[in-house]
Structure formats: C-alpha cells, structure tokens
Amino acid sequence: MRLALDTNAYRLMMDAEARAVRLVKLAERILIPVPVLAELRFGFLNGTRGRENEATLIRFLDQPRVEVLRCDEDTTVRYAELKLQLKRQGTPIPINDVWIAALVLQHGATLFTRDTDFERIPQLPRI
C-alpha cells in the first residue's frame, strides 16, 4: 500500500502509537504531501523542541521508502475539482486539506488521518 500521512498521523507515528507504527511498517511507500511538511514545520517553529523535531523529520524523510508529494499542474486540476465538489456539497474544508486530498488522489495513495474533514471527500481512500 502507498500510505500518505496527514499531519496528525505523522504525530501519532512519532508518538509511537501502536496502530500508526504498524501501518507505517506495513506500507510499501510512505508519502508526505508538501502541505503536511508545511504544517509540521510551522508546529516545530511554534513549539519548544523545534530543532529536535526538525532533525527527526529530516531523518524520516531520508528513508528510502519515504517520498514527498509535490504539487504540479495536474495537482491544480484535482484541487480545483475537489474545491468545486466541496462548494457544491456545501461542505468546505481547510485549504491545506484540499491540497493534501488532491495530492493523495493524484498519486493513487491511501490517506492515514484522524481528521474528519476528509470524510467529505468520499472518493478519497483513507484509513
């Protein structure tokens, strides 16, 4: 499975939550959408253990099974389609979550998240 981590899933994994660790260990590829990196790094800067957390993140990203999902033109098309879908449904979600969903769908992954906002996108595979 290609497993994309949401910000809260990364934190669960770093906190050694058993289910999160198991899912990450079983994944063929671990994908980190670039908006997740931005959210994590904001948290690091806003916290008291920023340097330590950044060093841990860099070690994690350097693993062979880990890949950062970056936005490209195809991502913008998926973003626009999702944003319109959510508008028509009357169920907007935070902008970063739309970008995360667009990247996960674009790359054929499953999103690991505890964020219920993603339930508003039924075509998004998630755990």
Question: Residue with structure tokens 């063929």?
Answer: 28
**Tell me, what's the pLDDT at 11?**
95
Question: What single-letter DSSP state applies at residue 118?
Answer: G
CA distances from 35 to 18, 68, 84, 88 (A): 25, 10, 20, 24
| Collapsed DSSP state (helix, strand, coil) of residue 66 | strand
Domains delineated in the chain: 2-120 (3.40.50.1010)
pLDDT per residue as tens digits for the range 45-62:
999 999 999 999 999 999
Distance CA 50, CA 42 (A): 9
Predicted structure pTM score: 0.94
pLDDT tens digits for range 48-99: 999 999 999 999 999 999 999 999 999 999 999 999 999 999 999 999 999 9
